Structure 1
């Protein structure tokens, strides 16, 4: 069985630092030097060299403390390291100092720390493998030759096994997020008005408007429902909360082209994006009349052969209601205090078993319920309790962290409150097949 060195990069934007210009870019087909990494965190030896893992598949995982996909991938890194023990070695890499990495894991109590070395102060690697964003991978074979700049969706057990077996990488190539324009640079100053809809390709150049000095633009990329949400997010539709759950109704024959099923993952998910993501662009003179968002709506209707409009519809919602005397909520007037929020996400730097609102507006409790309903139940929410004064509330932190409907009901019952499922007549965006 052949073994390869595989470098996996998931990071936030990393610019190339001119200080490290001597570290030239290594392209597919070229050899990689035996880099030395001092000040390594969570490793047996503080200094690590790539040659320490000769013959193994090496995964350099570039991450950042504010990169949620990077942090969410830590458990996967741990599982892959254990599964391929002896064949691979994953190295997490960032521009943070060793002390900053240690502080991050100490303070972020809900972040899983994978049992791998963490390479620190690695700015020079931006010049070796230049990229403008994520996702990004570099695959290197056992002889030290770079095979491929790839996409993290290729990091699967099946693909790793195939590469170990064949010594090749044959997966989706990562885009370097290079943007271009439909308009030839020689003639761009002659363009006075243009609108376009183009397919989005995750592994190729991405289209982006290039305007002349006198023009203005509107550009968005995403699936069709999102493009419509953007078109209806203008101030002229301010009465429609278009981005909240339950505000878009699809009346189309084939919803699979509009909404990705949760079961579609990995390469299949990337293919779905390639097939169903589009970039909309509109370029026009600064003094041109008319609303650009309205024009975007018309263009979307025309190309996708759809009808879009705002209607009043009866929609199933979750309602916060008062079930009795609200005096139980009335504040005692002490100094204000608020730790009434979720504490089990990757941003958490503290944990409290009991969450409290002391002498705080009822809106804070209402918003906590709203976050639960919209995020967990994916449904419209309305507060019909009629309560507006300052309150005192104390609940188990488990209620906010678990996001469980029955737990919320039990916690609210003490304060004569409840969440009820009811139908309400609300404004919605209806997208339907053209007839």
Structure 2
């Protein structure tokens, strides 16, 4: 009897070893692959109840898995929109959040187990509760993370009729894109891939051949711009010094032209103040070559590809100051891109937010510590927030006049109104007038950033 038990135990160990080996060898799926029927043993609903299912239970509809973690603010803030789309499409679509079990970031996600998520979802004061988000959460599922490996969130996996049809960033989850998949149409969306080959920053973008130069062998300075976004390379900027050759290489990887100008001017002016879009004047043929308009539905990846460049300069290391280097970068961009980016004072139209009557009617009724804001059109809502939010939002649009808060009102407010666009100033004024506020047009001399195409 004892001998038989030893045999059974041995077989059990062998079976567990083979199973572990099989799981460890799971490969990430590619677009067009049939998706395995993964058991979903723990699905937490917003009321705290836990149920189980199989992935195939949702193969009769478009299944969107949103891999994230609860400390990702952008991920959480995007859930009300996804919940709206879930309600709109009903049984045609199933959107589910996936947390925990991440094989690549176990320390970051270790705490997000069933118990933690149940408390997170049943918190009546939370952002999700206030927005009545009803999406279910899949927890503690390592298999899903193995079939759909990732490192950056949100990571969206699209499964339709049992096949993987897309892997995207979160801003691809729109009504139009969902309808595209439901209609059976092909998509040309970029596949989100967090495991592109490592790019060595020690390797110059442009290789200088010293054999081309005769006579004096001193280092010749060059500057170059690659007018294209490098897919899979994280945005970076820095300096590499060669103590043997006594050279300095400054590089900027995957940053929009306007951001490079703003950051380098910030160094020169010793100012960390952000460049607000309404204080930017674009004297260019195609503004979209340089900007993304606030609240645009265009995916971030497409914007990065359209607006970002790579820059590099290499020359003698003469212990240049940060201001000297920043000035050199600006001159290089001007020369290489045919631009002129600078600050200057201009007399121009602006708007002052003023009060037309007592604002007691909009003073918040929420308790201290409670509050949120939804600033994306069409439904604007502020609960226990400052009027600064209204001014800030208006200043985020290129082409809007600069806006200043001159109400003198310091209390927090509750507001709820609808707009088609923050760029329709007439419509914005009408909405604000219902709350005893208005936008008064004035002309002032202001310091603005001007980007001009000179060729």
Provide Cα deviations, 1:110-147, integer angstroms capped at 9, x if missing partner: 753444422123466444322232464334464x5545
- The verdict on how the C-alpha distance between 1:140 and 1:94 changes in structure 2, with shifts beyond 3 A counting, is same
- The verdict on how the C-alpha distance between 1:430 and 1:128 changes in structure 2, with shifts beyond 3 A counting, is same
Instruction: Provide the C-alpha distance between the structure 2 equivalents of 1:197 and 1:304, rounded to a whole number of angstroms.
Output: 8
Q: Secondary structure at the match of 2:351?
A: strand
The residue number in structure 1 matching 2:279 is: 247
The alignment covers a number of residue pairs equal to: 378
Counterpart among 102, 115, 120 of residue 101 in structure 1 = 120
The residue number in structure 1 matching 2:192 is: 174
The residue number in structure 2 matching 1:257 is: 289
Counterpart among 120, 128, 133 of residue 147 in structure 2 = 128
Instruction: Provide the C-alpha distance between the structure 2 equivalents of 1:353 and 1:203, rounded to a whole number of angstroms.
Output: 38
The residue number in structure 1 matching 2:442 is: 422
The residue number in structure 2 matching 1:71 is: 77
Provide Cα deviations, 1:225-271, integer angstroms capped at 9, x if missing partner: 23221221114364x9561343321222333423446796447x754
Counterpart among 369, 374, 387 of residue 395 in structure 2 = 374
Paired residues of 1:141 and 1:167 also in contact (CA < 8 A): no
Paired residues of 2:98 and 2:138 also in contact (CA < 8 A): yes
Paired residues of 2:63 and 2:95 also in contact (CA < 8 A): yes
The residue number in structure 1 matching 2:17 is: none
Instruction: Provide the C-alpha distance between the structure 1 equivalents of 2:66 and 2:345, rounded to a whole number of angstroms.
Output: 49
Gapped regions of structure 2 (runs ≥ 5):
1-21, 101-111, 211-218, 243-247, 360-366, 376-380, 423-427
Instruction: Provide the C-alpha distance between the structure 2 equivalents of 1:340 and 1:283, rounded to a whole number of angstroms.
Output: 51
- The verdict on how the C-alpha distance between 1:27 and 1:197 changes in structure 2, with shifts beyond 3 A counting, is farther
- The verdict on how the C-alpha distance between 1:383 and 1:224 changes in structure 2, with shifts beyond 3 A counting, is same
Instruction: Provide the C-alpha distance between the structure 2 equivalents of 1:62 and 1:196, rounded to a whole number of angstroms.
Output: 39
- Written as runs of structure 1 = structure 2, the 5 A alignment for 1:191-210 is 195-201=223-229, 204-205=232-233
Provide Cα deviations, 1:279-309, integer angstroms capped at 9, x if missing partner: 3345678763252221221121122101222
Looking at both structures, which has the greater relative contact order when contacts are Cα pairs under 8 Å and sequence separation is at least 6?
1
1:431 Cα deviation from its structure 2 partner? 1.6
The residue number in structure 1 matching 2:372 is: 343
- The verdict on how the C-alpha distance between 1:323 and 1:204 changes in structure 2, with shifts beyond 3 A counting, is closer
- The verdict on how the C-alpha distance between 1:295 and 1:100 changes in structure 2, with shifts beyond 3 A counting, is farther
The residue number in structure 2 matching 1:27 is: 29
The residue number in structure 2 matching 1:228 is: 261
Instruction: Provide the C-alpha distance between the structure 2 equivalents of 1:401 and 1:167, rounded to a whole number of angstroms.
Output: 34
- The verdict on how the C-alpha distance between 1:62 and 1:395 changes in structure 2, with shifts beyond 3 A counting, is closer
- Which deviates the most, 398-407 or 112-121? 398-407
1:379 Cα deviation from its structure 2 partner? 4.2
Counterpart among 82, 85, 97 of residue 92 in structure 1 = 97
1:172 Cα deviation from its structure 2 partner? 2.5
Instruction: Provide the C-alpha distance between the structure 1 equivalents of 2:414 and 2:179, rounded to a whole number of angstroms.
Output: 43
- The verdict on how the C-alpha distance between 1:213 and 1:262 changes in structure 2, with shifts beyond 3 A counting, is closer
Residue 50 (structure 1) aligned with residue 52 (structure 2): no
Instruction: Provide the C-alpha distance between the structure 1 equivalents of 2:178 and 2:134, rounded to a whole number of angstroms.
Output: 19
The residue number in structure 2 matching 1:398 is: 415
The residue number in structure 2 matching 1:11 is: none
Gapped regions of structure 1 (runs ≥ 5):
1-19, 330-337, 347-351, 357-363
Paired residues of 1:23 and 1:124 also in contact (CA < 8 A): no
Q: Secondary structure at the match of 1:46?
A: strand
Paired residues of 1:305 and 1:433 also in contact (CA < 8 A): yes
The residue number in structure 1 matching 2:307 is: 276
Provide Cα deviations, 1:85-122, integer angstroms capped at 9, x if missing partner: 1x543222123333243145642267534444221234
Provide the TM-score with structure 1 as the length reference. 0.65
- Which deviates the most, 371-380 or 252-261? 371-380
Q: Secondary structure at the match of 2:37?
A: coil
- The verdict on how the C-alpha distance between 1:21 and 1:247 changes in structure 2, with shifts beyond 3 A counting, is farther
The residue number in structure 1 matching 2:104 is: none
The residue number in structure 1 matching 2:252 is: 219
Instruction: Provide the C-alpha distance between the structure 1 equivalents of 2:68 and 2:164, rounded to a whole number of angstroms.
Output: 21
Counterpart among 331, 336, 343 of residue 303 in structure 1 = 336
Provide the TM-score with structure 2 as the length reference. 0.62
- Which deviates the most, 423-432 or 242-251? 242-251
Instruction: Provide the C-alpha distance between the structure 2 equivalents of 1:286 and 1:117, rounded to a whole number of angstroms.
Output: 57
